[in-house]
Amino acid sequence: MAQQTAGPSGGRRASARLLWTGCAVLLLDQVVKKLVVSLMPLGDSVDLLGPVVRLTRTENTGAAFGLFRGRSAVFIVISSLAAVAIVAFRREIAKLVRVEQLAFALVLGGALGNLADRVRRGAVIDFIDIGIRDLRWPAFNVADSAIVIGVTLLAVRFLFFARPGAPDPLPPSPDREPE
């Protein structure tokens, strides 16, 4: 991953931005889930864009998209470790290019959003339901989306732009000093 040395105040700003963005994702996730829980009984479904995009309130004791159901305790540990690692390494993450910082912030917020559900409810509230007729993607939520987007951004950066000796196509963040 691209890394440049940040000045002292730039590193603090980038570190704070990482934490604030993660908190914003957490807040958005929890507010939307609270609305869904308060307005929809479990199993209810409402068409948003015809039958293609629906809100369907479900609960998931597994990982994103319904994988590994019934293993909530394992995912409490995984989410906790991911969040602690991101916070612990926030100063190193602050030295990365902005898209990588954003990716880690999205993963942080998503991990905390689903962690909050698992700790409080023993399951994650899912509600975004996409598909056609019986061909439906497993229901997901804002936190799942943030994690997937964050991991995808990191994968794309790593696979296509982080080659040794390759020039970085992204401009440096204004918070960082060039090497």
List, by residue number, the catalytic residues. Answer: 126, 144
| CA-based torsion, 97, 102, 104, 105: positive or negative | positive
d(CA 144, CA 126): 9
Q: What is the DSSP letter of 64?
A: G
Residue with tokens 């339901």: 129
Task: Say which residues have a Cβ less than 8 Å from residue 50's Cβ, sequence separation at least 6.
Answer: none
d(CA 174, CA 148): 27
